[in-house]
Chain A
Amino acid sequence: MNTTPMMYIDPHIHMSSRTTDDYQNMRDSGIVAVIEPAFWFGQPRTSVGSFQDYFSSLVGWERFRAAQFGIKHYCTIGLNSKEANNELLAEQVMELLPLYACKEGVVAIGEIGYDDMTPQEDKYFRLQLELARELDMLVMIHTPHRNKKAGTSHSMDVCIEHGLDPSKVIVDHNNEETVQEVLDRGFWAAFTIYPNTKMGNARMVEVVRQYGCDRIIVDSSADWGVSDPLAVPKTAHLMRERGIIEAHIRAVCYENALAAYSQSGQMQESDWLNPSPIDQRQLFSGNSVLRGQKPVIESPTREYALIE
């Protein structure tokens, strides 16, 4: 059950790396929906088959697992910048993308962008922007850890060059140095609450205090690293404690993500407020969680993981 009155969306979190226990805690903390951007494994994939199975799990098993615990799961599909540097493999992944980009619940092409800003990264970033344009899709940009300010500017330049509308591009992993330009140019500015490498809670509070809530989005990116899948609700609590008004908290921790990604037509509030009647054509059933029982999609109870 949703025990807090506030609803949250974590629009950037790598649930494949997390346990079911996390889903339970997230649901208990008020998270109703997540977006899982296609990501890398921490080690490079060596064949296109690994990409295919990963993409299939994002639109298949992971979505089902989330639903079992009362959370709506969406994803973005893309070739990440690090792996764009393996050109042989990158070519094959590019051929795979049209098979996955338009599947149900895929809200954007992402996360794509730059890591080292190599020519290969540039090539595949551009090719994927072209794909997004052809398929009329949103884009989620991963901005680089190093040389971030220049990398962020350049990412936006390239988007404009390829004819993308800034209102259809979410630029993620921003910090105090990049936020002004991203907002000025009309893009969505997302912030990742992630220890040490990205944003911190307290800094995020100050960003909202300074820039308000227009087009600002908070997420966790929680993955296989030391990270917190409750970063969004925890940041909201801190904002509340430090006097940010409720309407702004609601905007940056829920409404803006919904407004940005609902442009895809694949995500709307009714998905979790009034879940559609069970549609057996859309369910995994008879799988390792359920054995022949009627499929349940809205049962966020703790019974599934009782340790007895």
Chain B
Amino acid sequence: MVFASYLEKTTISANELLHNWLKQRLNSQALTWLEQKIEQIKTAVNTLVFFSAFSAVPRYTGKNDLQLTKTELEAACSARTGWFPSHWSVDQAARILLVLALPQDNEQKYLETLERVFTAADVGELVALYQALPLLRYPEKFRNRAAEGVRSNMTAVFNAVALGNSYPAQYLGDLAWNQMVLKALFVGSPLHLIQGLDQRANPELARMLVDYAHERWAAKRTVSPELWRLVGRFADNAMLADLERAIQDPDPVQQAGAAIAIAECPLPAAQTLLARYPNIQAEIQAGHLTWKSLIIS
């Protein structure tokens, strides 16, 4: 759980960082508009100015990529653990800055305001809002909202929740978390961009993923080798048989994925199986073949 004082400190830092990044990237007219809106939102009695400004942002800022430098990304990560806005655009950053300007003391009003914006949002706005989840006040109140984002039929929106976002690992329950990982495979999103993937691996998810692999095989389709990353540690003998099938795949990437999973499996039979592939086993033992080194497009 996050302590209030810690939250406040980090929220302020995130705010300052976003502001500094935009100062360097926006023209003076856009920056003046943005700063004026921030002041109005901070002090506004009603939320109408926030509603129209939130939508209007790209009209003033454009939609270029933010293109943060390595140093800037490191600053983000130290301001907020797991915050990695490497693929954000200037309009997204500016929209989130407006969200962070909302008065936060009245919890109910704060949540209601954001809920209204969520329910009226277009694709670009949804992406910005879901990316902002880890920076919001009262983050635990957005669990259902995040689960709703996972249900989106818009891949861009789904990815905004699932990828490069620290919120799901920290706040989603197992049911929603497992659905999110499974759906990432369905829509072809890379699993390694899901934060906290290994920490939140669990036996139920492993079972769901193996069932999914069986469906794919039955339909003569391939399975992302990343799938096995969440299976190896929880594999029983039946799952080990599936891994044995996967390691026989002619595609070296498929083979490698299965091999790493087998190496992670605590069953003695797993080590016996892996020993039949001495070259791959040696690569794994030497630390050359890992989930990180496995490039999955």
Contacts and interface: CB of A to CB of B under 8 A. Distances in A.
A102 B154 contact: no
Most chain B CB inside 10 Å of its own CB: which residue of A52, A282, A292: A282
B154 A100 contact: no
A285 B89 CA distance: 20
A279 B127 CA distance: 12
Given A266-B59, A281-B89, A281-B156, A104 B52 contact: no
A283 B154 contact: yes
Contacts of B117: 99
A104 B95 CA distance: 13
Interface in B144-171: 153-156, 158-159
A101 interface: yes
Contact of A284 (B92, B153, B159): B153
Contacts of B250: none
Interface string A78-95: 000000000000000001
Interface size class on chain B is: 20 to 34
Given A100-B120, A103-B125, A135 B154 contact: no
A55 B119 CA distance: 11
Given A95-B48, A98-B52, A135-B52, A285 B122 contact: no
A60 interface: yes
Contacts of A281: 89, 92, 123-124, 127, 156
Contacts of B51: 98-99
Interface in A42-91: 52, 55-56, 59-60
A303 B63 CA distance: 32
Nearest to A293: B188
B120 A56 contact: yes
A286 B151 CA distance: 11
Contacts of B48: 95, 98
B156 A280 contact: yes
B120 A280 contact: no
Nearest to A285: B155
A265 interface: yes
A183 interface: no
A59 B159 CA distance: 21
B290 interface: no
Nearest to A60: B122
Main secondary structure of the interface of B (DSSP, over half): helix
A284 to B, nearest CB: 5
B56 A284 contact: no
Contacts of A7: none
A282 B157 CA distance: 9
A96 interface: yes
B55 interface: yes
A287 B124 contact: no
Interface in A127-155: 135
Contacts of B269: none
Interface residues of A, number: 29
Nearest to B127: A281
Interface string B78-96: 0000000000010010000
Interface in A259-308: 265-266, 279-288, 292, 295
Given A99-B116, A104-B124, A285 B56 contact: no
B156 A55 contact: no
Given A283-B156, A286-B153, A102 B187 contact: no
Interface in A231-275: 265-266
A18 to B, nearest CB: 21
A280 B51 CA distance: 24
Given A98-B48, A266-B59, A281-B89, A286 B155 contact: yes
B58 interface: yes
Contacts of A55: 120
Nearest to A131: B52
A161 B111 CA distance: 39
Most chain A CB inside 10 Å of its own CB: which residue of B58, B63, B124, B154: B154
Contact of A292 (B53, B116, B125, B186): B186
A104 B89 CA distance: 15
A45 B178 CA distance: 40
B55 A101 contact: yes
Contact of A96 (B63, B120, B158): B120
B25 to A, nearest CB: 17
A14 B125 CA distance: 25
Given A281-B127, A281-B156, A285-B155, A135 B122 contact: no
Interface of B: 48-49, 51-53, 55-56, 58-59, 63, 89, 92, 116-117, 119-120, 122-125, 127, 153-156, 158-159, 186-188
25 contacts: A59-B122, A95-B48, A96-B120, A99-B51, A99-B117, A103-B125, A104-B55, A104-B122, A266-B59, A280-B155, A280-B156, A280-B159, A281-B89, A281-B92, A281-B123, A282-B124, A283-B123, A283-B154, A283-B156, A285-B154, A285-B155, A285-B156, A286-B154, A287-B154, A292-B187
Given A282-B156, A292-B188, 15 more contacts: A55-B120, A56-B120, A60-B122, A98-B48, A98-B49, A102-B53, A102-B56, A103-B122, A103-B125, A104-B124, A266-B59, A281-B156, A284-B153, A285-B156, A287-B154
